[in-house]
Amino acid sequence: MRVRMLAAAALLLGVLNAAGAEEINLYTGRHYDGDQLLYDGFTKATGITVNVIQGKGDELLARLEAEGDASPADVYLTADAGNLWRAETAGVLQPIESEVLKTRIPEQYRDPGNQWFGFSRRARVIFVAKDAALPIAVETYEDLARPELKGKLCMRSGTAIYNLSLLGALIERLGAEQAEAWARGVVANLAKDPQGGDIDQLKAVAAGECAVTMANTYYFVRLLRSDKQEDKDAAAKLRVVFPNQATSGTHVNISGAGVAKYAPNKAGAVKFLEYLASDEAQGYFGLGNNEYPVAGGTSGNPELDGLGTFKADPVNVSVYGKNQPAAQEIMDKAGWK
């Protein structure tokens, strides 16, 4: 069924392109309702229509590879620098030169070769049950592996891209041997086998199934802003810890995009990326999906900004992808399911 849907979408894009109106074709692995504000804002600002094809990041990447130089894609947009690295190494993106992007996007949040750029940030932080009587203060990622927390942790799978990127950052900072020791320590402290996404981990801590977890900030803010009282109640039971504030800083990841290698409308694609770096678009990321801007300033989201300011790890996010194979090997060796 999905194959037929993608084929139909490709046919539709061909019809639209034949009509002659200026447009770009966007392959996006993001599935957030608020992103429609980005597309509408870009069209209003430039007159360029955005044809949106959604799918899982890996699925869209495979499609780009299969389509080759016949691909109608102009832009590939996805979450996590690790996914962007996969696209870069697969050869489906192209480097672009844009003074707007170089000026607006800090160097640590873009590819050194200018094949992709980050447009929103999410911090991967620690959440602790407010009523937990823990034997140690949990203030760093390293604390999660301390034996005093045995049976206290809930964690997402070792194949989850967010955890792989965090481990990639730890490999860069600590080296592979210490990073593996950390992963083994975390596995030894699990209260149950990994299952579910970030929201599931947060709710498990709130329900008392464990006392500590990690999740991206925007998931927690989603609970805070939810229309469901049970979500708000769950969030109220959690304390946010921005890790490693006295040392390396908190791990920060991105959502980002690049221009497809065979983009039919490269100029329009570059305009779209430049729009994503604008103040207007940065505000949409903040309010639409509870993400931090990359271009400076606050998000404009009261609940997100209410979490407070924090020191971010200054490492270039490209290392998450570079170290991804090693991170997955360590996860497997550590038994992080």
Query: 189-225, pLDDT tens digit by residue?
Result: 999 999 999 999 999 999 999 999 999 999 999 999 9
In the three-class reduction of DSSP (H, G, I as helix; E, B as strand; rest coil), residue 36 is classed as helix
Residue 150 has pLDDT above 80, yes or no: yes
> Rounded to whole angstroms, how far apart are CA atoms 112 and 105?
12
Question: Taking every pair of C-alpha atoms in the chain, what is the biggest distance, in angstroms?
Answer: 66
Q: Report in angstroms the alpha-carbon separations of 262 from 6, 46, 232.
A: 19, 22, 45
Element (H, E) at 39: helix 35-46
* pLDDT at res. 296: 81
In the three-class reduction of DSSP (H, G, I as helix; E, B as strand; rest coil), residue 4 is classed as helix
> Rounded to whole angstroms, how far apart are CA atoms 55 and 5?
11
Q: Which CATH architecture has domain 2-121+253-300?
A: 3-Layer(aba) Sandwich (3.40)
Residue 182 has pLDDT above 60, yes or no: yes
pLDDT tens figures, 255-288: 999 999 999 999 999 999 999 999 999 999 999 9
Identify the band that residue 12 occupies on the pLDDT scale cut at 50, 70 and 90. very low
Q: Report in angstroms the alpha-carbon separations of 17 from 6, 81, 127, 271.
A: 16, 30, 47, 18
The total of other beta-carbon atoms located within 10 Å of residue 136's CB is 11
> Rounded to whole angstroms, how far apart are CA atoms 130 and 26?
42
| Domain map (residue ranges) of the chain | 2-121+253-300, 123-250+320-334
Residue 55 has pLDDT above 70, yes or no: yes
- Share the mean pLDDT of the chain: 94
Task: Kindly give the pairing relationship between strand 23-28 and strand 49-54.
Answer: parallel
* pLDDT at res. 203: 98
> Rounded to whole angstroms, how far apart are CA atoms 294 and 119?
6
* pLDDT at res. 104: 97
Residue 318 has pLDDT above 60, yes or no: yes
* pLDDT at res. 20: 54
Q: Looking at domain 123-250+320-334, which of 3.20.20.20, 3.40.190.10, 3.40.50.10190, 3.40.50.2300 is its CATH number?
A: 3.40.190.10
* Percentage of the chain modeled with pLDDT above 70: 94
* Percentage of the chain modeled with pLDDT above 90: 91
* pLDDT at res. 298: 86
* pLDDT at res. 272: 98
* pLDDT at res. 1: 45
Q: What are phi and psi of 23, to 5 degrees?
A: -160, 165
Say if 2-121+253-300 and 123-250+320-334 have the same CATH topology: yes
